[in-house]
Amino acid sequence: MSSRVEGASLFRQLIGPGFEALDARLRAIHSATTSRAYAGSCSVERGSGLFSKVCGALARLPPPSERIPLRVIISPEARGETWRRSFGGVPMRSRLHARDGVLEERFGPSVVCFRLEARDGVIHWHPAGMRTLGVPWPDGFLHGSGAREWVEDGRYRFEVAVQLRGAGLLVRYAGTLDVDPHDAP
């Protein structure tokens, strides 16, 4: 069950007081009370092993690309958020919610858990576990995975890496989104 605090955005709730010290662009993208769309671009790297390819296909991960247009729609809901991403027209959807102080992101039959931390103007997503069809994967299975978001030269930037112990890289993508800092509450 989610421990949603009335009136607090999902990320504000999970990051806590450090959320207020973040750049306005980071606060804006994670404080919306209505659906918002963002556009940008990113580079995508995919793992080459068979297990990586199968997992990537099941999770509908984006194809490898040096520079691909990216569109992200974040829709807040009563119990979390839905993120709809389009990597050059290839959709990837996930649902996010809070559970016991951890961010849970669902991709199809899998749930990836993260502890969020704001440090030095950066939001860090630290892996905290994974389940598929309700069955937990071994501790450390996501070793080398994580994400971070920050603002540099007035641009919202992100990096995401998913690596599975024993299988290697599943996906790594990094890029920018256009975020209006005046949208922050």
Token readout for 182 is 């005046």
Q: pTM of the predicted model, to two decimals?
A: 0.89
Q: Of 9, 30, 64, which is closest to residue 177 (Cα–Cα)?
A: 30
How far, in Å, CA of 172 to CA of 36, rounded?
24
Strand partners, 156: 151, 177
pLDDT range class, residue 89, cuts 50, 70, 90: very high
How far, in Å, CA of 44 to CA of 68, rounded?
8
Q: Which CATH number fits domain 10-183: 2.40.128, 3.30.70, 3.40.50, 1.10.287?
A: 2.40.128
Q: Could you tell me how many helices (H) and strands (E) the chain has, helices first?
A: 3, 11
pLDDT tens for each residue of 2-55: 333 445 699 999 999 999 999 999 999 999 888 999 999 999 999 988 888 887
